Structure 1
Amino acid sequence: MPAVGTILIGTVSGQGLVIAISPLLTRMYGPSDFGALAVLTAVSSVVGAFATFGVDRAVIVARTSGAVRHLIRVGATGAALIALLMGVVVWAGRAWLADLFAAPSLGELWWLFPSTSFAISLQRIFSAAITRQRRYRSIAVRNGLQGASQSLCNVLLAPLGPIGLLGGLLAGRLAGVLGLVRGASRPVPEEHSVRLATTLRDHRRFLLVTPWSAAVNVLGQQAPSIILAMSLGSTAAGFVALTMRVLGAPVGMIADAVAQWSAGAMGHRIRTGAPLATLVRRTVVRSALGALVAALLVVGLAPPTFTTVFGEQWADAGKYAQVLAPAFALQVVASPVTQLLSLLGRQTLQLGWDVGRLVLTSGSVLLATLVSYEPMVAVTALAAAMILAYGTVLVLVFTAVRRATPAASDIPAGAQETLSV
């Protein structure tokens, strides 16, 4: 898969830098700062996913460039309105937010919540547009710009306090959006214009169901960090946040590269009525082989590596990494193909799984924190919940692919494969 390699080069150059400077950041910022970052990331990611109104999925399978243009405009407008509303709410509750998570920086930097969520929404929308075009080099540029900008902000603004760490998330997303917009192609004329009302009607399931599914999906990933911060305090959550950052960065790099490639390839096959089963099996098997090797390395080397690289005070994070490694490995396998449920029109099934994962991951962590104040108990419960959730979605995806019977005759003649942004 040469395309995956192209995307991965950009991802490694960007996110690899994020990982590389982590030892430096742990000496510039404290555990409470990382806990605050976990809260900002969680809230902004959930709102940013919802605020696209599902157009980031619809764009992949939309059959004309006119429909794609309508969807992008609807998504961008909705994201701006949601960000404005979020800004008002967060500003009004900034003191409560700081007290809830025992993180004063969240009250002072409240404006990062709406601005970051808006940037995340735009990035999701434009990423989908570029993926539809299968412009993998542009995706690689985006990934490189995002990681480099985030890292520069983290380091250069460190003397100013927590804003350097928290603001890096916004800086990275904005740079990524800029890279995507510059990589988009020009409009392709169509013989017949597409009405906005027609586009909305044809993609109503995406617009009505997918926003909730996307928000719940991201919440399922981020909620455990929020619960840990609320139950055990931002310092304890900071140790887990570092673990999630170190493991999540390479997992995100690989999963994102494969997912971007597979979304373009699968979307093309869905639009043209080509079979999917072989592509899905090949994607899962190749991802599984790489994930298995990585998990074994983490289990064997994490504790001494964390102590040496990050310092003695972060020793517990290495133990958490050992426990979470199998769960993250399964996430690498499942993430690239999970999007197929939505792309195949199974939005309700996708929403059901997203809700189920949220209940599993959040419920397991919440129950663990009620039973014990020991973070390891919560981390172990989270790992078990993740394994069950991702194993289940793989079964659902293979079942959906087996039952899917796309008809090439249903694809309009002359459907455009190029779009404008």
Structure 2
Amino acid sequence: MRTAKRGVVQIVLGTVLGQGLVVLISPILSRLYGPADFAVLQVFTGVVSVLAVLVTLRLELAIPLAKDDKEARSVFAAGLWATLIGSVVLGVAGWLTAPLWAHGQTLDALRAVFWIVPPTGAAIAAFQLVSAQLIRGERYRDLAVRNATQGVGTAAAQLGFGLLGMQHLGLLLGTGLGRLFGLASMRPRKRTEPVEKLAVGDLTAAVSRFRRFPLVTTWSAVLNNLSRYAAFPLFAVTFGVLATGSLAFTTRLLALPVTVVGQAVAQVYLGRGAAAQRTNPKDLPRLTWYATGRLALLGIVPTLVVIIAGPWLFGVVFGDQWVRAGDYARILALAFLAQFVTTPATHVFNIVERQGLALIADAVRLVLVVGGPLLVWQLGGSDLAGVTAYAAAVFVSYLGVLGLVWWALRDAARRPGSSKKPDGMSVSRPHAGGETERAGAASDES
């Protein structure tokens, strides 16, 4: 547990350094870019996020679960090949179908710069694959350096392009460059012994072993990303570009705790949870609810501050044109608290290989976050009512996820042999300092 805590602290510090710079320059960015620019950014972020999920086939999630170093490297190599091929295919498909989806000011602006989508999606995908290798080896310090470098690169690029008057293109380029800076900072660990070369059969065997990730988890992740970002193109064609930009700017800021702390805890939880599932499955529920409870305690005070003083804070810090975004923040605060608390627990579905439950949860969330605001608009409701419907859908859906996590953990504990150690795995034993070690565990990653 001490190693996990130290890992969380290291990742959080790295992320705070990087994302903290993004926060510090947000008052400048809010004056260099307008709501229309942030609207394009958020739709672009949704597109490249879905692209990154599709091209990796979610194989990055299988890397921490691989039984040994060779299998982990095989999964990693398969993910890189899938990323290369998938980015080209989906990029061409998006360009060819642009006349079908590029309607309205925001989507038409995205079409004009669509050339940046495939390389950015590929950079995000590679970023995720390399990060999974670091998680498997519990190289939390390297993850911290990566997070810091990514944030600094993104902030510097978006600020510089904004000063040059590049409008939304500056925000989009900054997103991709930040990932590339993060990738450049991640170097493979030197090995003292030769590494066995991989054959095509190794890659296909690894993909076959973890086939539920491409076949099920990929589509669950696509639905998850669609549920996170579908509201923005929907708002663009219903409530208008200003409402879309305000919603985009608000969610960008409210998502920072999820990015800074929630993802740090989730990364450490995935590594520790996967190890627990391999060696001592009874530890998994304790790890899950410990992480969830700590995040709930950490998030409640900032949530109350946003609910009480959101509009005033946004107007003072970011300028008068963002007061409406402060109203949105007040409405969305509880929804983002629910997402923050649930962040690490969502990995349970992959760890216990119940990806079908995640697929159901993500499908339901997508229906709710699209159907709620759309119904409000059809009934003639205001943009505030649409944001309220969106917030309610997010909040309820994440509570449902926690319920499914509880059920999945309980079901996994009842499975025959769930309390036994897998063949070839040694029992975790305590150190004098209270930590645990996995004797005979495979070395990190390539």
What's the offset of the Cα at 1:78?
0.9
User: Aligned with 2:255: secondary structure?
Assistant: helix
User: Aligned with 2:445: secondary structure?
Assistant: coil
Taking the aligned partners of 2:285 and 2:66, their CA distance within structure 1 comes to 21
Q: Deviations over 1:64-106 (max 9, x none)?
A: 1111111111111111112111221233345665544445532
Greater Cα offset, 191-200 or 404-413: 191-200
What's the offset of the Cα at 1:416?
4.2
Q: 1:296 to 1:204 in 2, by over 3 A?
A: same
Which residue is equivalent to 1:417? Answer: 442
Greater Cα offset, 385-394 or 108-117: 108-117
Taking the aligned partners of 2:83 and 2:104, their CA distance within structure 1 comes to 27
- Percent identity between the two aligned chains: 35
Residue pairs, 1:96-175, within 5 angstroms: 98-102=102-106, 104-158=108-162, 159=164, 160-175=166-181
Matched, 1:339 2:351: no
Matched, 1:207 2:219: no
Q: 1:60 to 1:248 in 2, by over 3 A?
A: same
Q: 1:283 to 1:187 in 2, by over 3 A?
A: farther
Q: 1:372 to 1:252 in 2, by over 3 A?
A: farther
Taking the aligned partners of 2:191 and 2:376, their CA distance within structure 1 comes to 52
What's the offset of the Cα at 1:403?
2.5
Taking the aligned partners of 1:187 and 1:205, their CA distance within structure 2 comes to 34
What's the offset of the Cα at 1:110?
1.0
Taking the aligned partners of 2:172 and 2:19, their CA distance within structure 1 comes to 16
Q: Deviations over 1:268-309 (max 9, x none)?
A: 111213421211121111111011112111112211110001
Taking the aligned partners of 2:29 and 2:52, their CA distance within structure 1 comes to 26
TM normalised by structure 1 equals 0.94
1:195 to 176, 198, 202: 202
Contact 2:68 2:442 survives alignment (8 Å): yes
2:27 to 23, 26, 31: 23
- Aligned partner letter, 2:182: G
2:228 to 221, 230, 237: 221
Matched, 1:46 2:53: no
2:64 to 51, 60, 78: 60
Greater Cα offset, 92-101 or 353-362: 92-101
Q: 1:131 to 1:78 in 2, by over 3 A?
A: same
- Aligned partner letter, 1:163: L
- Aligned partner letter, 1:111: W
Which residue is equivalent to 1:311? Answer: 319
What root-mean-square deviation, in Å, do the aligned CA atoms of Structure 1 and Structure 2 show? Answer: 2.2
Which residue is equivalent to 2:82? Answer: 78
What's the offset of the Cα at 1:166?
1.3
Contact 2:14 2:148 survives alignment (8 Å): yes
User: Aligned with 2:154: secondary structure?
Assistant: helix
User: Aligned with 2:56: secondary structure?
Assistant: coil
What's the offset of the Cα at 1:344?
0.6
Which residue is equivalent to 1:391? Answer: 399
User: Aligned with 1:362: secondary structure?
Assistant: helix
Contact 2:107 2:233 survives alignment (8 Å): no
Q: Deviations over 1:296-339 (max 9, x none)?
A: 11112211110001111111110110110011111111111111
Greater Cα offset, 107-116 or 35-44: 107-116
1:365 to 360, 373, 380: 373
- Aligned partner letter, 2:422: D
Q: Structure 1: which 5+ residue stretches go unaligned?
A: none
Matched, 1:293 2:301: yes
Contact 1:187 1:418 survives alignment (8 Å): no
Contact 1:101 1:233 survives alignment (8 Å): no
Which residue is equivalent to 1:241? Answer: 248
Contact 1:11 1:143 survives alignment (8 Å): yes
Contact 1:64 1:415 survives alignment (8 Å): no
Q: Deviations over 1:321-366 (max 9, x none)?
A: 0110011111111111111111111011111111111111122122
Taking the aligned partners of 2:387 and 2:108, their CA distance within structure 1 comes to 26
What's the offset of the Cα at 1:372?
3.0
Taking the aligned partners of 2:188 and 2:396, their CA distance within structure 1 comes to 38
Q: 1:187 to 1:52 in 2, by over 3 A?
A: farther
Taking the aligned partners of 2:244 and 2:356, their CA distance within structure 1 comes to 33
1:374 to 368, 377, 382: 382
What's the offset of the Cα at 1:211?
1.1
Taking the aligned partners of 1:213 and 1:234, their CA distance within structure 2 comes to 29
Matched, 1:351 2:363: no
Taking the aligned partners of 2:193 and 2:341, their CA distance within structure 1 comes to 36
Contact 1:357 1:386 survives alignment (8 Å): yes
Q: 1:328 to 1:186 in 2, by over 3 A?
A: farther
- Aligned partner letter, 1:110: F
Taking the aligned partners of 1:52 and 1:62, their CA distance within structure 2 comes to 16
Q: Structure 2: which 5+ residue stretches go unaligned?
A: 426-438
What's the offset of the Cα at 1:232?
2.4
